[in-house]
Copies of this chain bind each other. A is one copy, B any other.
Amino acid sequence: MDIRIATRDDWPGLWPIIEEVVRDGRTYCWPVDAGEDACRDWWMGKPGGSVYVAVDADGSIAGTAELHPNQPAAGSHVANAGFMVASRASGRGLGRALGRHVIEEASKQGFTAMQFNAVVATNTHAIRLWQSLGFEILATVPGAFRHPDLGPVGLNLMYRSL
């Protein structure tokens, strides 16, 4: 498993992973019917952002992450990031590998901390992963995510210094 910077040419391999996560609607505040162009801008078009791909030995993309400043200017030293893994590649520690890689990259880029603004409170897999990588829940905004099965659930603000 190789993790490297993504290029625009990687989009055809990225889109099925992003589409799967977006259509599912249980982990991201993103319209479940969002089109491909909107998703590409969202994942690859953030100001000051970097996108990474986890590539299998056969060259296929199994997961992706994006790293960007959480705020502009006076807040730009704190990073934000997003992570997605193909369901076919789950259980292989790919989220953890991407997480470690992005934490290291963020540190190299000069970020001094990383925060996630909207970790769905029912996404226990992700919460445990981030806690094991040093993040803590600073706050839960009550009912801020309308879960398609469960109704309103919290959104966690998670944070770690770098």
Contacts and interface: CB of A to CB of B under 8 A. Distances in A.
Contacts of A152: 77
A57 interface: no
A49 interface: no
A145 B75 contact: yes
Nearest to A137: B139
A83 interface: no
Interface in A47-82: 70-78
Counting every copy of the chain, the complex holds 2
Chain A interface main SS type: strand
A29 B74 contact: yes
A73 B32 contact: yes
Contacts of A76: 29
A123 interface: no
B25 A144 contact: no
Contact of A118 (B28, B75, B140, B147): B75
A11 to B, nearest CB: 21
A146 B30 contact: no
A144 B73 contact: no
Contacts of A31: 72-73
A118 B72 CA distance: 11
